[in-house]
């Protein structure tokens, strides 16, 4: 377990600090369970988060239970555009009093669909922690691409500007290493994974055979969900997130 892991006492979970717009992952505290929600109809991200908050309040939770957010954007951002969006997103979380000692506890994935992209950034899904008697370890690992530092700097992208098969394998290897590090940092293990997501517009077969299943053996059993999307920043080509969850919900929330 990473010594930086931090308790969110109002949320019922611990988180692994990441960067300003999101944490690297979350894991439920004893006596709590993390649930994952997919929206039946994605909503504009601000309206969607307000709807998610109303849902949490309807089941006697507060906004502090929110621990994961999944967004879909119209197209990959420039680095500056991504930073600008994150500033607005973080402002909403600050307004809701979400940060813990200045750190953002909420994990996040934000990707751009290749086909039928939304006209604006939308909320695709979210995760939350609630009191539970389960003994299962439940957790969410935030999306990460081949940018292996906490600094949002395009020059640090692995094999920047390259999309050859060799470069894509190196990018996939970098991302799997990030996922493994976050998994270990949360104190979770490979066998507890229930969902492994990959986000790329490139062919996945070589990465599956040579990188993904070898690095994350759970993939041989639970499979890989491939989203035909691009990561949220121009020139990042391969992204993943993962979770270990016992309850997956599909909700039709109203804006």
Sheet containing 239-244: give its strands across.
6-8, 13-16, 25-28, 139-145, 239-244, 195-200, 225-230, 107-113, 66-72, 122-131, 32-44, 248-251
What is the band of 151 on the pLDDT scale with cuts at 50, 70, 90? confident
Q: CA 183, CA 205: separation in Å to the nearest integer?
A: 24
What is the band of 165 on the pLDDT scale with cuts at 50, 70, 90? very high
Please report whether residue 55 resides in a domain. yes
Residue 199 has pLDDT above 90, yes or no: yes
What's the confidence (pLDDT) of residue 2?
82
Domain harbouring 78, CATH code: 3.30.1330.40
DSSP assignment string, 46-106: HHHHHHHHHHHHHTT--GGGEEEEEEE-SSPBPHHHHHHHHHHHHHHHHHTT--BTTB---
Q: Quote the mean pLDDT of the chain.
A: 95
Please report whether residue 1 resides in a domain. no
Please report whether residue 59 resides in a domain. yes
The model carries a pTM of: 0.96
What's the confidence (pLDDT) of residue 154?
77
Question: Structural domain of residue 29, as residue ranges?
Answer: 6-251
Contact status, residue 189 vs residue 183, Cβ threshold 8 Å: yes
Please report whether residue 111 resides in a domain. yes
Residue 209 has pLDDT above 90, yes or no: no
Distance of CA 188 to the CA centre of its chain: 16
Distances (CA, A) of 237 to 139, 176, 179, 229: 25, 13, 16, 9
**If residue 39 lies in a helix (H) or strand (E), which one and from where to where?**
strand 32-44
What is the band of 16 on the pLDDT scale with cuts at 50, 70, 90? very high
Query: Per residue in 26-82, pLDDT tens?
Result: 999 999 999 999 999 999 999 999 999 999 999 999 999 999 999 999 999 998 999
Please report whether residue 120 resides in a domain. yes
The number of domains in the chain is 1
Residue 153 has pLDDT above 80, yes or no: no
Residue 94 has pLDDT above 80, yes or no: yes
């Amino acid at each position: 377990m990473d010594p930086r892991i931090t308790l969110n006492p109002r949320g019922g979970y611990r988180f692994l600090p990441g960067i300003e717009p999101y944490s690297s992952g979350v894991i439920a505290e004893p006596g709590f369970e993390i649930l994952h929600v997919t929206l039946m109809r994605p909503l504009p991200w601000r309206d969607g988060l307000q709807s998610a908050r109303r849902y949490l309040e309807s089941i006697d939770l507060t906004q502090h239970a929110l621990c994961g957010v999944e967004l879909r954007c119209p197209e990959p951002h420039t680095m500056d555009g991504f930073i600008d969006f994150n500033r607005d997103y973080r402002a909403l979380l600050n307004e809701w009093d979400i940060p813990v000692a200045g750190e953002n506890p909420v994990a996040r994935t934000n990707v751009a669909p290749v086909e039928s992209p939304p006209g604006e950034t939308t909320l695709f899904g979210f995760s939350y922690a609630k009191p539970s008697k389960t003994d299962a370890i439940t957790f969410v690992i935030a999306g990460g691409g081949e940018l292996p530092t906490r600094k949002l700097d395009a020059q640090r992208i692995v094999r920047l500007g390259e999309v050859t098969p060799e470069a894509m394998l190196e990018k996939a290897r970098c991302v799997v290493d990030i996922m493994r590090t976050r998994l270990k940092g949360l104190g979770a293990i490979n066998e507890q994974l229930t969902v492994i997501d990959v986000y790329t517009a490139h062919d996945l077969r070589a990465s599956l055979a040579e990188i993904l299943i070898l690095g994350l053996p759970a993939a041989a059993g639970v499979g890989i969900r491939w989203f035909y999307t691009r990561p949220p920043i121009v020139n990042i080509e391969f992204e993943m997130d993962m979770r270990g969850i016992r309850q997956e919900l599909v909700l039709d929330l109203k804006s």
